[in-house]
């Protein structure tokens, strides 16, 4: 069953008691919200200048133009991206890896993202991997 984030995530398996994992998880959920995705400036603030993604579509995506492309295709009043089993682990101080399954309009993908702390309480994603998941 797909669930959307409502402020508490009972699906977090690991790292839930680690404040760095909690901060990175909150940042991830923000980037998945329609309001953030529809606002290029807001979304761009969560992407590191060296951002890179291997998309579930098979394409490779880089920082330049990503926030604008996402914003242009997002309805700010639309459905949030569904999230299952969000879990995270701190790899080092200021470095967090998150894993979850996303459901975007019926297209499911396993996701891994890497977040780095760039200032106290401020995180940016520098890598994302999407792999198609079975229905």
pLDDT tens figures, 29-80 = 999 999 999 999 999 999 999 999 999 989 999 999 999 999 999 999 988 8
pTM: 0.86
Residue of 89, 133, 131 lying closest to 114 (CA atoms): 89
Residue of 116, 112, 117, 81 lying closest to 99 (CA atoms): 112
Residue 13 clears pLDDT 70, i.e. is over it: no
């Amino acid at each position: 069953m797909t669930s959307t984030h409502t402020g508490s995530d009972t699906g977090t398996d690991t790292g839930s008691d680690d404040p760095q994992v909690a901060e990175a998880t909150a940042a991830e959920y923000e980037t998945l919200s329609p309001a953030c995705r529809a606002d290029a400036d807001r979304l761009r603030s969560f992407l590191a200048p060296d951002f890179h993604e291997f998309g579930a579509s098979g394409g490779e995506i880089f920082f330049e133009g990503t926030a604008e492309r996402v914003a242009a295709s997002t309805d700010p009043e639309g459905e949030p991206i569904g999230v299952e089993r969000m879990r995270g682990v701190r790899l080092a101080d200021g470095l967090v890896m998150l894993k979850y399954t996303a459901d975007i309009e019926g297209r499911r993908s396993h996701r891994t993202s890497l977040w780095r702390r760039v200032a106290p309480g401020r995180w940016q994603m520098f890598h994302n991997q999407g792999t198609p998941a079975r229905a």
